[in-house]
Chains A and B, each alone.
Chain A
Amino acid sequence: MTQDNSTTGRGEAWLAALSGNAPRLPGYPPSVQVADAAIAGRAARLIAVVPDPASPFPRARNGEVGLLEGWSLARAVQEVIALDENPRRPRESGGPASLTSPEKSLGPRLRGDDGRGDDNSRTGAKRPIVAIVDTPSQAYGRREEAFGIHQALASAAAAYAEARLAGHPVIALLVGKAMSGAFLAHGYQANRLVALADPGVQVHAMGKEAAARITMRSVEDLEAFAATVPPMAYDIGNYATLGLLWRTVPVAHPAAPDAADLATIQRTLADALADIDADPHRDLRSRLGGENRGASQRVRDVLAQQWDA
């Protein structure tokens, strides 16, 4: 559907391929595409944010995560949590299990579960969620700030985090840009981050042009400089040295996957699911330990030593 040298439409292309062109679920804005399909033989939910040139929000027409997208992502994920909820512990008013409910003895507080999530989190009972990430940025605009885009993105991030804590295996598949607030809302809460090994896949806190202006450098200077400081770099290779990615996977056609590319990623997702199932933890500790991220672990070690002193 797109040229290999373009990143437009990658999210949609991978969603279509991985879901076997399953119909999109109704009730979502055109920019939030949701499909239910089997991943590694398990019923899973796949979610992508895609461009909608006709969006009523003019600053969110190119695949940005804006107001509609943030709150709709939250709905798409919370719906999965509700579907698989332990019937012994009903949710109250759409929120997480209330600690004031009579069922509190089943809540996380008293199980000493070390953040593992629900009791059946390792039995494969909870359906996986795959966030397909190809988002150029969050939406920048007056409408967005006025109506609290930060709150919309918080809803999405919270939904993914709650799904992970409830025992749903959450995987983010980075097929294009994964930028800043957009990535925080859609993907960064996943148990495992998987990226295509391709120059079109970029993770960053700010787009190159804006970052160059803010730091008063040319884009060329910024790129040259960023290449020497791993956390500032834009390419997925440098990003991989930070230890945040579970795996980077080369494919032949990252913008328009063929059958072989699809098989490669399906295998990778199956491996990721198995890895999550085998992990007793439902937090993000597996991201610590990267060669260029030593201080993140050191700070935690110091806090652990001093916490109960």
Chain B
Amino acid sequence: MNQTALLSRESFVELGARARAHALLDAGTFRELAGPFDGLTSPWLVRQGVVPQGDDGVIVARGKIGGQPAVVLAIEGAFQGGSLGEVGGAKIAGALERAADDNRRGIPTRAVILFETGGVRLQEANLGLAAIAEIHAAIVDLRRYQPVVGVIAGTVGCFGGMSIAAGLCTSLVVTREARLGLNGPAVIEQEAGIAEYDSRDRPFIWSFTGGEQRFATGLADRFVEDDCNIIRDTVAALVAQPPATPRSNQYDDYLRRLAGYDTGAQPEPATVRRLYAGDQQ
């Protein structure tokens, strides 16, 4: 990217959740549901000394993408690390459930999920976990009819139960700032020790879970620059594609590839590329 392009570029990563949803929907079609004035704040945070937020860190936006009905679910990474509690989780699950119902009455609503999340909000533990199970259920239901496109832009990344949600999406868009993994680096280091996983070694973390590696190993479908126009066009193209066999149904292929790994030694990023890249896509 040359200097002119760099200066004219509009960063997507730097946008908040609401602005990101705006950026993806066709101009003039954005309509927020269950918004900050609907009285849906977390019932659990205040009693734990945490100031709640009117939207609980999740934006539900209806509108159109490429002229087709869409719902964008954007997680705000700046609120409690993008963690999902009861309300934010129900907003995502509930909206996906409505989108699937739309399809059953002939309205081809598709969905885009903007992941920026550490997973379950520990202050609402079991209600966050339950909501994430319902998000999984709703993605699997909706993707029978329409694409469910996931975007991990950064900088929080996508972890915990929501990384499983990302794995259920029909396609996944990542940037260089993105990270995708089940367990956060600090938790792995605590559970397994620093020799297993050094959470402060950022190049190490990115080399395994960064967007570039996930794309190179087929665990993500598009690797894009941090640019609003590029991300908008990429998402618009993906939501227009007919549903294909989801990555989550390729269990036999993954088991076969994993069998080629000698578990006696820790893998390098190149080990994963060798086994996962190739004829998979």
Task: Give A residues with C-beta under 8 Å from B.
Answer: 56-59, 67-68, 71-72, 74-75, 78, 92-100, 107-109, 111-115, 137-138, 140-155, 157-159, 161-162, 164-165, 180-181, 183-185, 188-189, 203-206, 210-211, 213-215, 226, 229-233, 239, 242, 244, 283-284, 287, 293-296, 298-300, 302-304, 306-307, 309
Contacts and interface: CB of A to CB of B under 8 A. Distances in A.
Interface in B87-102: 87, 89-91, 94-95, 97-98, 100-101
Given A138-B182, A157-B136, 4 more contacts: A143-B261, A203-B126, A205-B125, A229-B47
A74 B251 contact: yes
A122 to B, nearest CB: 17
A215 B160 CA distance: 16
B202 interface: no
Nearest to A71: B251
Contacts of A215: 122
Contact of A303 (B34, B130, B258, B271): B34
Interface stretch (B5-13, B17-25, B190-198): B190-198
A142 B175 CA distance: 22
A147 B127 contact: no
A35 B102 CA distance: 39
A287 B86 CA distance: 13
A180 to B, nearest CB: 7
A158 B170 CA distance: 12
Contact of B122 (A111, A159, A206): A206
Interface stretch (B140-148, B221-229, B231-239): B140-148
B217 to A, nearest CB: 7
Contacts of A141: 188, 192, 196-197
A244 B42 CA distance: 19
Contact of B34 (A145, A149, A244, A306): A306
Contacts of B47: 229
Nearest to B100: A115
B136 A152 contact: no
A307 B96 CA distance: 11
Nearest to A75: B251
A290 to B, nearest CB: 9
Contacts of B251: 71-72, 74-75, 78, 152, 155, 159
Interface string B96-134: 011011011100000000000001101111111111111
Interface in B143-195: 144-145, 160-161, 163-168, 180-183, 186-188, 190-192
A115 B98 contact: no
A276 B141 CA distance: 18
B224 to A, nearest CB: 20
A294 B40 CA distance: 11
B129 A184 contact: yes
A150 B263 contact: no
Interface of B: 31, 33-34, 38, 40, 42-44, 47-48, 60, 62, 86-87, 89-91, 94-95, 97-98, 100-101, 103-105, 119-120, 122-134, 136-137, 140-141, 144-145, 160-161, 163-168, 180-183, 186-188, 190-192, 196-197, 208-209, 214, 217, 219, 242-252, 254-255, 258, 261, 263-264, 266-267, 269, 271-272, 275-276
A189 B165 CA distance: 13
A185 B122 CA distance: 19
B248 A56 contact: no
Given A112-B105, A300-B97, A78 B249 contact: yes
B184 to A, nearest CB: 9
A100 B242 contact: yes
A303 B60 contact: yes
A75 B161 contact: no
A214 B258 contact: no
A287 B127 CA distance: 11
A295 B281 CA distance: 41
Contacts of A113: 104
A63 to B, nearest CB: 14
Given A71-B251, A154-B248, A180-B161, A302 B122 contact: no
Contact of B132 (A164, A184, A210): A184
- Across chains A and B, which 8 residue pairs bring their CB atoms closest together, nearest first? A154-B167, A95-B245, A150-B163, A299-B90, A161-B140, A188-B133, A74-B251, A56-B263
Contacts of B242: 99-100
